[in-house]
Structure 1
Amino acid sequence: MNLKDSATRVAVLRVLRDIVDAAYEAERRTVLDGLRAARAEFAVKSIRTTLPDHTPIATITLIDPQPAVVVADEDAFTAWVVANHPSEVETLIRVRPAWQRAFLTHLVARDPVADPHTGEVIPGLTAVPASAPRSFSLRLLPGGPEEITQAWRSGRLDLRQLLALDGGEA
């Protein structure tokens, strides 16, 4: 293959990659919305995907964010840390970020937020509920990529249909 042929191939592959990327992102949004709806209606969190001939290829699962503790009042929290954990306060009179992250991860996300050792309510902290799932994981099954490749090469997967733009014919 000469340079001109390679350059043409790069241009075509770039356009095809962009089409595939756009189709992938749109389909990801559709799947995420569908999984959220299935979770709300049927308590379904995970689905198994198959090729048209029912060969299993992957599992798609909602990723549930965890509730978290966040600093709602920096000054009140800093004052509490100064009084209770002075070695964790920097001269700037701020809580060391690494310690704050570690400390917050060990707290129960329930208002009022309390010190797990003393039960004392910690000023300046509040619990925030977990957000709705914003993503999902796709775990290909062993042999899944090979099954997809074989189905594509044999014609069992119609990429024109799979990559149809705007839901119309390709």
Structure 2
Amino acid sequence: MNLKESATRVAVLRVLRDTVDAAYEAERRTVLDGLRAARAEFDLKSIRVTLPDQTPVATITLIDPQPAVVVADEDAFTAWVAANHPCEVETLVRVRPGWQRKFLTHLTALDSVADPHTGEVIPGLTALSASAPRSFSLRPLPGGPEEITRAWRSGQLDLRQLLTGMGEESPVAREEAHGR
């Protein structure tokens, strides 16, 4: 292959990559929205992904954020720590970041903004509830990527159809429709 042919391949592959990336992001948003709706309606968190011939290739699972305690008022929290844990306050008058992370994590586990020893509400802290899932994980099943490649090469999966979103229903949509 000469330089001109390689340059053409690079240009074409770049356009294809960008097209695939855009289609991936759009489908990812559709799947996330669908999983959120399925969670709300059916308490469904995961979905098995299959090829058109029903060969399982992956599992998609919502990732649930954890509730957290965060510092809402840095000055009030720093004053409280200075009064109650003075060795954890640095000279520049801030809470040591490592201790703050550990302390807030411990409070999150308790689902509280009160001192676990005295019960005193700690000024400057606010408890946030967990937000709606913002992402999901996709874990290929053993042999799943190879099965996808086989289906693509054999013509069972039509990339044009996948990239345009037109034509036959996608495996994920089919799974959602059938409640699997």
Q: Shorter chain as normaliser: what TM range?
A: over 0.9
Counterparts of residues 18-167 of structure 1 (less than 5 Å): 18-108=18-108, 110=111, 113-164=113-164, 167=165
Q: What is the SS of the residue equivalent to 1:163?
A: helix
Report the alpha carbon displacement of residue 98 of structure 1 after superposing the two structures with TM: 2.1
| Structure 1 unaligned regions, length at least 5 | none
After superposition, the CA RMSD in angstroms is: 1.4
Equivalent residue pairs, number: 166
> CA–CA distance in 2 between the matches of 1:40 and 1:52?
27
State the SS of the aligned residue for 1:81: helix
How far apart are the structure 1 equivalents of 2:11 and 2:80? 60
Per-residue deviation, residues 103-149 of structure 1 (Å, max 9, x unmatched): 111113645x1122333321111101111110000000010000000
Alpha-carbon offset, residue 151 of structure 1: 0.5
Higher relative contact order (CA 8 A, sep 6+): 2
| Aligned residue in 2 for 1:7 | 7
* SS, match of residue 17 in structure 2: helix
Deviations 1:9-56 (A, max 9, x none): 000000000000000000000000000000000000100000000000
State the distance in 1 between where 2:25 and 2:118 align: 48
Stretches of 4+ moved more than 6 A in 1? none
Corresponding residue number in structure 1 for 2:174? none
Residues in 1 aligned to 2:64 and 2:72: alpha-carbon distance in whole angstroms:
23
Separation in 2, partners of 1:27, 1:155: 21
Say which is worse superposed, 67-76 or 29-38, in terms of deviation.
Answer: 67-76
Unaligned residue ranges in structure 2 (runs of 5+):
168-180
Alpha-carbon deviation of 1:168?
4.4
Report SS of the residue matched to 1:66: coil
Aligned residue type for 1:33: D
Which amino acid is the alignment partner of residue 161 of structure 2?
Answer: Q
Greater CA drift, 54-63 or 94-103: 94-103
Secondary structure at 1:44's aligned position in 2?
Answer: coil
Scaled by the length of structure 2, what TM-score is found? 0.88
